[in-house]
Amino acid sequence: MSSPVLEVRLRKKLPGFTLDVAWDMADDLVCLLGFSGSGKSMTLQMLAGLIRPDTGHIRLRDKVYCDTERGIHLPPQKRPFGYVFQDLALFPHMTVARNILYGKAAMTQREKEDRCRELMDRFGLQGLASRYPHEISGGQKQRVALARALLRKPDLLLLDEPFSALDRPLRLSMRRFLLEIRESFPLPILMVTHDMDEAAELSSRIIVYEGGRISQTGHPEAIRKKPASLTVARLVA
């Protein structure tokens, strides 16, 4: 693996569940794979600063965003990360353009508007600026959410099962679109999924979560050929 750009060490104890993970990733697209309740989404929320770990640290390149030993825990607005939630979290009372512009960015209003138009053109959202979320398709909603996350030119993109609610043809289309985004916006992407086919198509490295721990990491084919546990075998079947 290339030199890591993101280093993650996290521990969080909740009633009946403990997350305890440590992993690194390079400047790549990596998938966190696991069944529901394994701690994948909690990890993203900690990376984004929405949940504070009991112990651990988060370092992206040379910047530390969390280090419990040193008392460092930057709030979400101080973390230059784009985040697409599983339910997309689009505001129903805002137009497509206003939803995208809501993405926090250290830019002037004019720069944000120019950036919004650029992203809408790239993402095939021309002519939809004044539409509302209920007036556009599922795939278009996904593109709006991705555009909002990329408005601020983030250093890391976090995706929490962004395609899980789509039907299969649209899900396959959005996978291809995400690969195009990766080529156009060269930044590390961490994606949560419970779909092995999706993880294998999109990433060259998978981190498998099981009960709040990491049970296996590696290339998709290596994990398919030699799963480390019965749970992993069920995931890749």
End of a domain among 105, 123, 154? Answer: 154
44: tokens are 């993203």
170: tokens are 């649209």
At 152 the pLDDT is: 87
What is the domain range of residue 101?
90-154
Residues 207 and 160 in one domain: yes
Residues 172 and 182 in one domain: yes
Cβ pair 23, 8 in contact under 8 A: yes
Residue 75 has pLDDT above 60, yes or no: yes
Once rounded to an integer, what is the mean pLDDT over residues 200-207? 94
Q: Nearest-CA neighbor of 221 among 207, 234, 204?
A: 204
85 within some domain: no
End of a domain among 130, 154, 178? Answer: 154
Residues 76 and 161 in one domain: yes
Under DSSP, the state recorded for 27 is S
Once rounded to an integer, what is the mean pLDDT over residues 161-172? 84
Once rounded to an integer, what is the mean pLDDT over residues 165-193? 88
Residue 46, domain CATH: 3.40.50.300
CA distance 52 to 12: 8
Residues 162 and 201 in one domain: yes
Give 77-136 pLDDT, tens digit per residue: 999 999 999 888 899 999 999 999 987 667 888 888 999 999 999 999 999 999 999 999
- What is the CB neighbour count within 10 angstroms for residue 106? 9
Give 5-43 pLDDT, tens digit per residue: 999 999 999 999 999 999 999 999 999 999 999 999 999
Residues 101 and 137 in one domain: yes
Residues 62 and 173 in one domain: yes
Cβ pair 125, 98 in contact under 8 A: no
Residues 136 and 161 in one domain: no
CA distance 227 to 223: 5
Q: Collect all residues with Cβ–Cβ distance below 8 Å to 228 and sequence separation of at least 6.
A: 208, 215, 216
Residues 74 and 161 in one domain: yes
CA distance 207 to 59: 18
At 105 the pLDDT is: 67
End of a domain among 126, 154, 182? Answer: 154
Residues 67 and 17 in one domain: yes
At 150 the pLDDT is: 93
pTM summary value = 0.92
Strand ranges (DSSP E) for the chain?
6-14, 17-25, 29-33, 55-60, 63-67, 72-73, 81-84, 156-160, 189-193, 205-210, 213-218
Number of domains present in the structure of the chain:
2
